[in-house]
């Protein structure tokens, strides 16, 4: 079994706990596989994706696999959840 580690790009500390933010410009297939694996192994983590481009393909991927996402900027609401 291959051991992997996940270090998020940002961690937001808010009232409900921690939000792990992964910032993606070009969302490579290997990164998508890694994000799915982390989510499957740790469903208790609130992992969100910050997309740097409005790619329909990446938006559909986030929706399909249950990742909350934002485009360009971290929404202010994320800080106050």
CA-to-CA distance for 6 and 20, rounded, in angstroms?
Answer: 10
pLDDT interval class at 78 (50, 70, 90): very high
Distance CA 29, CA 78 (A): 26
> What pTM value is reported for the model?
0.88
Q: What is the dihedral of CA 28, 33, 39, 45, to 10 degrees?
A: -30
Residue of 9, 10, 2, 33 whose CA lies nearest to 79:
10
Q: What is the pLDDT of residues 22-50, one digit of tens each?
A: 999 999 999 999 999 999 999 999 999 99
What is each CA distance from 48 to 12, 30, 41, in whole angstroms?
A: 10, 17, 15
**pLDDT > 60? residue 1:** no
Q: For residue 62, what are its two tokens?
A: 């986030």
- Rounded CA separation 78/67 (Å): 14
């Amino acid at each position: 079994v291959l051991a992997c580690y996940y270090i998020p790009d940002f961690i937001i500390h808010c009232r409900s706990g921690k939000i792990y933010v992964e910032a993606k410009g070009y969302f490579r297939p290997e990164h998508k596989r890694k994000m799915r694996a982390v989510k499957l192994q740790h469903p208790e983590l609130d992992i969100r994706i910050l997309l740097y481009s409005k790619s329909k393909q990446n938006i559909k991927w986030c929706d399909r696999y249950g990742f909350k996402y934002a485009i360009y900027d971290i929404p202010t609401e994320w800080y106050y959840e």
